[in-house]
Structure 1
Amino acid sequence: MYIHVGEDVLVRAKDIVAIIDKESSSSSPYAEEFLRRYENDAVNLSKSGFKSVVITTEKVYFSPLSSSTLKRRSGKMTVAEF
């Protein structure tokens, strides 16, 4: 199954490691460090501010979609099912 994460980008659900909302990414020092480390390699899909961060096995995406929208699109009920 593929999930649309913004713009014209589709990501395989099984390749998604984490979906983090913007508030969580800015409140955790570990998340902030991770995002700083991959900031230059991340793909920014948002023309304005991003709402969530999608971490896959290959890339990091800054998505204009909220984490709850992405979860709903996945059709999965729990994180363990990814």
Structure 2
Amino acid sequence: MAHLSSIARDSQNRLKAIAPLLPMSLRPLIQSGNVEGDDWCLLVPNSAVAAKLRQILPALCAHLRTKGWDVNTIRLKVKSPK
């Protein structure tokens, strides 16, 4: 259980680290997802948000690496509507 809490906390910390680089209008729409090795997932509400984020993914990865995280890939997953 402690391991899962640690992973969730790490994912949230990554999201906080990239928040200043995200467009202000998109910040409340993006949620942190799974961390698997050097791969991290962001959850987005729709394909339009995903398309906008794809443009800045290389900068987000580079920023996280400067902060000490080993991130080579950020995946985007569109959440299904409830």
The TM-score with structure 2 as length reference comes to: 0.27
**Higher relative CO (CA 8 A, sep ≥ 6), structure 1 or 2?**
1
Structure with greater helix percent? 2
